[in-house]
């Protein structure tokens, strides 16, 4: 795309950056990494990230979309609805209607919008049953992108993310390397040509026997699935009481560590 001077990221934990540890107890994530990539070539880039873990789509629309519309940034990245789809009985058709209204508002404000589809959960036992619902939602997102001339990062087709090393221990959030690959893919969609390839195969991994896999599955269910179900039953969210990590549209001040900065944009350049 043309010279990029301002960028606002909207969404939930995916865009906040869990579980990609950053400085001072915050997270980096693909959005911060993408801002780091862009700012290397656009030193005056202004960046804000309003995403907060646990947010449902309507909360993102009510709380974050108006802020972005008011700021009128050149680029808005918008990902939402994943937490809704985890809830039994949720309707991907109804969610897509809410999503489309938000995209229309962002486009009317003059912002370019980068949309993210949902991941393919076929390799995650707990989420595999949601595959059809996520696929329906993704189909709607592609249609919205076509109607409003938005670019799309197709997470569903990123088979490199099917490797368990792309995910943190909870299997719901990306690992630092997973976030790095998504940032590279987003940069590519925006018209950059990174020297690093987001689809580079992972190094060989020793296969675990069936019993070891089941022990890991049980440990994961005990430590992550059961607490998640408990929060849902209590009507609680991981993001309750949290504020956005980058609430103002300010000149990007770096990722907070030399190592992360190098990983984010060590070799990418404009096409």
Q: Using one digit for the tens of pLDDT, what is the confidence trace for 128-142?
A: 899 999 999 999 999
Cis status of the peptide bond prior to 19, with omega within 30 of 0: yes
- The arithmetic mean of pLDDT across residues 71-84, rounded, is 97
Q: Would the pLDDT of 266 be above 50? A: no
Q: Would the pLDDT of 218 be above 80? A: no
Return the ∠ at Cα 153 (arms to 123 and 166), rounded to 5°: 35
Give percent above pLDDT 70 in the chain.
85
Pick the CATH number of 6-201+243-266 from 1.10.10.60, 3.40.50.1110, 3.40.50.300, 3.40.50.800: 3.40.50.1110
Return the ∠ at Cα 132 (arms to 127 and 136), rounded to 5°: 125
Which residues partner with 269 through β-bridges? 193
Instruction: Report how far Cα 44 is from the mean position of its chain's Cα atoms.
Output: 24
Q: Would the pLDDT of 230 be above 90? A: no
- The arithmetic mean of pLDDT across residues 62-91, rounded, is 96
How is the chain split into domains, by residue range?
Answer: 6-201+243-266
Q: Would the pLDDT of 224 be above 70? A: no
- The arithmetic mean of pLDDT across residues 241-251, rounded, is 93
Highest-scoring range by mean pLDDT, 81-90, 118-127, 173-182: 173-182
Q: According to the model, what pLDDT value does residue 263 have?
A: 40
Q: How far apart are CA 74 and CA 221, in angstroms?
A: 42
Q: According to the model, what pLDDT value does residue 216 have?
A: 67
Q: Is the CA virtual torsion 256, 259, 265, 266 positive or negative?
A: positive
- State the average pLDDT for the chain: 87
Q: How far apart are CA 132 and CA 137, in angstroms?
A: 9
Q: What string of DSSP letters covers 89-156?
A: T--HHHHHHHHHHHHHHHHHTT-EEEEEPPP--TT-TTTGGGHHHHHHHHHHHHHHHHHHT-EEE-GG
Q: How far apart are CA 121 and CA 138, in angstroms?
A: 13
Which residues partner with 115 through β-bridges? 78, 152
The two tokens of residue 244 are 């956005």
3-state secondary structure of 9: strand
Q: Would the pLDDT of 253 be above 80? A: yes
Task: Look at residues 33, 105, 98, 99 and name the one whose alpha carbon lies nearest to residue 72.
Answer: 105
Q: Using one digit for the tens of pLDDT, what is the confidence trace for 151-183?
A: 999 999 999 999 989 998 887 899 999 999 999
Q: According to the model, what pLDDT value does residue 215 have?
A: 72
Pairing of strands 6-10, 75-78: parallel
3-state secondary structure of 204: coil
Q: Would the pLDDT of 255 be above 90? A: no
Q: Using one digit for the tens of pLDDT, what is the confidence trace for 22-69?
A: 887 889 999 999 999 999 888 899 999 999 999 999 999 999 999 999
Give percent above pLDDT 90 in the chain.
66
3-state secondary structure of 10: strand
């Amino acid at each position: 795309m043309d010279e990029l001077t301002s960028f606002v990221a909207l969404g939930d934990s995916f865009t906040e950056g869990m579980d990609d540890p950053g400085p001072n107890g915050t997270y980096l994530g693909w959005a911060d990494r993408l801002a780091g990539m862009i700012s290397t070539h656009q030193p005056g880039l202004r960046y804000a990230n309003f995403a907060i873990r646990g947010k449902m789509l309507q909360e993102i629309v009510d709380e974050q979309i108006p802020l972005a519309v008011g700021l009128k940034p050149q680029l808005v990245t918008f990902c939402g609805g994943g937490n809704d789809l985890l809830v039994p009985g949720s309707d991907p058709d109804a969610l897509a209607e809410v999503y489309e209204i938000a995209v229309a508002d962002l486009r009317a404000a003059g912002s370019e919008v980068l949309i993210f589809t949902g991941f393919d959960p076929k390799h995650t036992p707990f989420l595999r049953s949601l595959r059809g619902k996520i696929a329906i939602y993704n189909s709607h997102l592609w249609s919205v992108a076509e109607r409003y001339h938005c670019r799309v990062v197709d997470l569903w087709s990123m088979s490199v993310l099917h490797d368990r090393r792309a995910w943190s221990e909870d299997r719901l959030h990306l690992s630092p390397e997973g976030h790095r690959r998504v940032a590279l893919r987003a940069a590519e969609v925006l018209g950059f040509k990174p020297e690093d390839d987001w689809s580079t195969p992972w190094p060989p991994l020793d296969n675990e026997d069936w019993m070891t896999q089941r022990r890991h599955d049980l440990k994961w269910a005990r430590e992550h699935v059961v607490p998640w179900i408990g929060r849902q039953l209590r009507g609680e969210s991981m993001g309750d009481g949290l504020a956005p990590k980058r609430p103002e549209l300010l000149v990007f001040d770096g990722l907070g560590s030399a190592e992360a900065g190098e990983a984010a944009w060590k070799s990418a350049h404009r096409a």
